[in-house]
Amino acid sequence: MEKHQLATRVDHIAPFQVMVVLTRAKELASQGEDVIHLEVGEPDFVAVDAVANAGVAAIQAGHTGYTAATGLPELKQAISHDYQTRYGVNVAPERIIVTPGASGALLLMASLMANPGDDVLMPDPCYPCNRHFLIQTGANARLVETRPEEGFEMDLSSLESHWSDTTSGLWLASPSNPTGAVLSKAYISEAWRKVQALGGHLLVDEIYQGLVYEGDDFSALSIAEDIFVINSFSKYFAMTGWRLGWLVVPEWAIEGATKLAQNLFISAPTVSQHAAIRAFQPDVLAECEARRQTLNARRLVLLEGLKAIGLPIVAPAQGAFYVYVDVSNITDDAMSWCLALLEKEHVALTPGADFGVKDAHKYVRFAYTCDEARLKEALVRIARFISESR
């Protein structure tokens, strides 16, 4: 029999552990069980009606062909205008590369700035796909250990000790997945100063921008034009399935990013781009702000409830829609604990092993992506599970 061999890079791509949880959760739901989903990073919102209607209008008008590789000029202008009006930052539309989701932006970024054999520094924990996109280019992520008592922020005073001749840059995220922590402007400014001195690049993933409840909601682009920034319509605008994001590059990287975009994906989804132009109008932004307030109310319910049942919150949940929790006082295996909780009480959570290496078995991520009543019910079930497991 002929033997088939996959590319060796595939062996280095780790599957999402949460998919085991999600698959079983769907099986239970199909059997009629009432499963509360706190595992997937997708709130129970969809695109605002005005945005969806703009997408329908684009289809009816026949706007379904390819666009320019870097995006519709009108959309790039709208994004640029939003940076100016909401964040006071002047970003030339030419620097904005519209992509198929933030995932497309990450692939573009890895291809643009990482050579085979390069290392890119990232905090442990972080979004796992960042590491995997680098593998696609022959580069590697080097996770830097962080401490819960410091909000899982990388210690910038030790950055130089982690830097080597093969280090290409530093990738950060704010607000963070999985911790929900928000980096300060002073922190990112210091990170940029140090990375610049070391001759590397800095990327700040701002996919959860706008979903900030404590601290400053700002863009790293306000610090320097040479910082790379990723964003998306998936989170703040609740357009997950529309698959639309963007990468902001320095002026000197526009030509290279354009060539890569042409070859990697030709263009982002056209209908989604036409719909997204509508997202920046005042009425849509007002509805998105109301949803942010809803998410904040859910956050407070979850934070209060977790404290009440004795589950320590190990990072300041200032943004996004996540709370990172230490379960080491009740288990030494967060993955097994998540699966047992799902079987017994039908609450689905994400194990920390999806996000990092150091002490990952101690942590669980909660996503407050359902309404307050469901969150309260989930807390009741978790408290019962903990009590009966002792």
Tell me the per-residue pLDDT of 217-262, one tens digit each, with 9 for 90 and over. 999 999 999 999 999 999 999 999 999 999 999 999 999 999 999 9
pLDDT in tens, 8-35: 888 888 787 888 888 999 999 999 999 9
Two structure tokens written together for 152: 């899982």
CB 246 within 8 A of CB 230: yes
Q: How many CB atoms lie within 10 A of CB 185?
A: 15
Name residue 145's beta-bridge partners.
Answer: 124
- Is the predicted pLDDT of residue 2 greater than 70, yes or no? no
pLDDT in tens, 194-210: 999 999 999 999 999 99
Cβ contacts of 316 within 8 Å, gap of 6 or more: 151, 179, 180, 181, 182, 214
pLDDT in tens, 321-347: 999 999 999 999 999 999 999 999 999
- Give the model's pLDDT for residue 390: 73
CB 235 within 8 A of CB 263: no
Closest to 96 (Cα-Cα) out of 113, 112, 72, 117: 72
346 burial (CB, 10 Å; 0-12 / 13-18 / 19+) is middle
Amino acid code (one letter) for 50: A
pLDDT in tens, 31-86: 999 999 999 888 899 999 999 999 999 999 999 999 999 999 999 999 999 999 99
